[in-house]
């Protein structure tokens, strides 16, 4: 971003009341091509602050995709990459899955899902899955055992 562009954007941003969600949302929507780093430079705020604003406003990151004929399409950025193995998407997840030892045992030992795959299906961190497994004294696989699933 050129220095003169930065000054223009900063002047525009200075007019925005950041506590007014509608004006802040309009700023995000008016300039979808700006990266988070550029927004940080314009707003003179950290990336964490930009992330918190996005979260508060319910705005996801957007990718700009240019087609062959020059048209620009917008699509939401996929936050979680697809897993390497095909996972049955019709797994019924209990509300209190962390406390369901039988369900965790079935997914981990019978379906042979990895901790990463479980975390993706559940939409939680791998650490949370590890804690749930250890809470029920389910033996975690070694790295060698885990790699055998992909052979």
Write out pLDDT tens, residues 24-74: 888 888 887 788 888 899 999 998 898 888 888 887 765 444 455 555 444
- Dump pLDDT digits (tens) for 63-97: 444 455 555 444 445 444 444 455 555 677 888 88
Q: Tell me the sheet residues that pair with 63.
A: 75
**What are all long-range contacts of 90-99, with beta carbons under 8 Å and residues at least 24 apart?**
91/121, 93/121, 93/122, 97/122, 97/132, 98/128, 98/131, 98/132, 98/135, 99/135
Has this prediction a pTM greater than 0.75? no
- Cα distance between residue 101 and residue 135, in whole Å: 9
Let me know: does 50 contact 39? Beta carbons within 8 Å.
yes
Q: What is d(CA 9, CA 5) in angstroms, rounded to the nearest whole number?
A: 6
φ and ψ at residue 108, rounded to 5 degrees: -80, -45
Q: What is the pLDDT of residue 118?
A: 85
């Amino acid at each position: 971003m050129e220095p003169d562009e930065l000054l223009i954007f900063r002047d525009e941003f200075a007019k925005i009341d950041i506590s007014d969600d509608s004006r802040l949302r309009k700023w995000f929507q008016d300039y979808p091509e700006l990266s988070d780093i550029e927004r940080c430079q314009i707003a003179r705020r950290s990336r964490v602050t930009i992330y918190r604003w996005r979260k508060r406003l319910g705005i996801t990151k957007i990718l700009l995709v240019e087609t062959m004929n020059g048209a620009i399409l917008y699509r939401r950025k996929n936050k979680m990459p697809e897993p390497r193995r095909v996972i049955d998407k019709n797994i019924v997840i209990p509300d209190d899955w962390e406390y369901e030892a039988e369900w965790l045992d079935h997914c981990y030992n019978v379906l042979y899902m990895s901790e990463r795959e479980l975390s993706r299906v559940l939409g939680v961190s791998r650490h949370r899955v590890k804690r749930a497994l250890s809470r029920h004294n389910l033996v975690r696989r070694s790295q060698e055992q885990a790699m055998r699933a992909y052979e």
